[in-house]
Structure 1
Amino acid sequence: MMKRFCLFLLLSLAAPLAMAHPHAWMDLQTRFLIDDKQQLTALDLIWHFDDFYSANIIEDMKQKKEPLAQQYQDFAKQSVEFMASENWLTHLKMNGKDLTFSPPTAYRTEKQQYHLVLHFVLPLKEPVVVKGNTFSLSIYDSTYYVEMLHHRLSAISFSDNASKLCSARLETPKPPDDLSAYAASLDVTQQSDKGLGTLFAEKVIVTCHP
């Protein structure tokens, strides 16, 4: 099961019906965790796997003897540990400067209808004051094998105490036509160079009032 997920994140899991990049999809939800000192301390992330990939992972789980609840927790733990080398596919800047994360300490997986959902909290190495600052968040697979989007502004939220302090907007990706055609030309056996995904990455822009 974990091998299948590793392949998924390494952008090499075969999907026979997929004929162009992306080959898999994730719907995202992000909550900015801001403490009483008006400091951003972490991101609370929820990733919804598409039905096809969920079915593959769940089928692997069914072949094992361990209870599903245990497998779900193992899946979450192994997922966040594996993604550490890819910075958890999460890129956050404050006023144009990169912010760094510590490994997640809270994570879990659940099944919602036909798909799996991965929850994890990604703490900042150092909390930062949000007041008067602007943040840019992009969550993406650098080779664009997996499309990762929030889709709607309501998928972005803040801690209750900061709901009036900060506001968010979504910037949808607008890749050049030639790169869109290139991505569409890649079949399931091919990988793009790293960096293609940045051109298809959505941006969440968060502005916090002075």
Structure 2
Amino acid sequence: MSVKSLTYKCGKRISWGVIALFLSPFAWSHPHSFISLQTTPVVDQQRLTGLQMIWTMDEITSADLLYDAGNAAPDSPVWKKLAAEVMANVLAQHYFTEFRHQGKAVKFTNLPPAYQLSRNGAKAVLTFILPLAQPQLLTGQTYTFSTFDPTYYVDMTWPDEQALSLPDELKEKCRLSLHTPQPDAALKDFALSLDKADAPPEDMDLGRQFAQTVTLVCQ
């Protein structure tokens, strides 16, 4: 199966983790795929312009991508083509990210200024800039953002607050904090009951209920 098969087969939403759908015969519950996140705000002239994202996929999710890449050099057309295909599917889900200011959604542009797919051992790593449509003021402001797959097919997680970093120019005036929800036992049991061919009801928005929230506060 190639990266082109990223469309969610159950006809619900495009789900990025479907590249692992046929690769893990022992995965019988949601989530089936795991992505570890690292994030750094991007600043230009004291304004927030985007988020630098590093997404590291688990070995099973990475297997198909790394097989297609073979022994190609990191800057080869093979890697660039794979990166473009993966990034197109990330864009189709609005970067799997929600960004808010004062409770209102902040829009993104649909053209990342930079992105790259690479290998780290047995794991594939997607690095990109998530660009905000308009630069945002920082002084005295609070922002929140979350990254998640609505179907919860993919678990997208910051392992801890060390996965969040500030650029040097913000270290004295801003802070980042991470909130991890604690879903109740019934919701966890429901997720565990879904086999690899199931999709939860779309209106349930299962992934949101497991999604972490990052808060950026600046003085």
TM-score, normalising length from structure 2? 0.87
SS across alignment from 1:20: coil
Question: Aligned-pair RMSD on alpha carbons?
Answer: 1.9
Residue number in structure 1 paired with 2:138: 130
Residues in 1 aligned to 2:165 and 2:67: alpha-carbon distance in whole angstroms: 33
Q: Would you say how many aligned residue pairs link Structure 1 and Structure 2?
A: 206
- Is contact 2:6-2:18 (8 Å) kept? no
CA shift, 1:67, in A, is: 6.0
Residue number in structure 2 paired with 1:18: 27
Overall identity of the aligned pairs, in %? 31
> CA deviation digits over 1:133-168, x for unaligned, max 9?
111110000000000011111111122111111101
SS across alignment from 2:152: coil
Residues in 2 aligned to 1:196 and 1:156: alpha-carbon distance in whole angstroms: 24
Residues in 2 aligned to 1:161 and 1:147: alpha-carbon distance in whole angstroms: 31
**Counterpart mapping for 1:8-47 below 5 A:** 9=16, 11=18, 13-14=21-22, 15-36=24-45, 38-47=46-55
Residue number in structure 2 paired with 1:83: 90
Residues in 2 aligned to 1:78 and 1:56: alpha-carbon distance in whole angstroms: 13
Residue number in structure 2 paired with 1:206: 216
- Is contact 2:72-2:79 (8 Å) kept? no
SS across alignment from 1:207: strand
CA shift, 1:70, in A, is: 2.0
SS across alignment from 1:161: helix
SS across alignment from 1:175: coil
TM-score, normalising length from structure 1? 0.91
Shift in alpha-carbon separation, 1:95–1:139, aligned structure 2, 3 A? same
> CA deviation digits over 1:3-38, x for unaligned, max 9?
2445561647233110110000000000101223x2
- Is contact 2:56-2:124 (8 Å) kept? yes
Give the AA of the match of 2:97: T
Shift in alpha-carbon separation, 1:140–1:189, aligned structure 2, 3 A? same
Residues in 2 aligned to 1:67 and 1:133: alpha-carbon distance in whole angstroms: 43
SS across alignment from 1:144: coil
SS across alignment from 2:93: helix
Residues in 2 aligned to 1:193 and 1:165: alpha-carbon distance in whole angstroms: 42
Provide structure 2 residue ranges, at least 5 long, that are not aligned to the other structure: 9-14
- Is contact 2:177-2:214 (8 Å) kept? yes
Residues in 1 aligned to 2:72 and 2:214: alpha-carbon distance in whole angstroms: 39
CA shift, 1:113, in A, is: 1.1
Residues in 2 aligned to 1:207 and 1:74: alpha-carbon distance in whole angstroms: 38
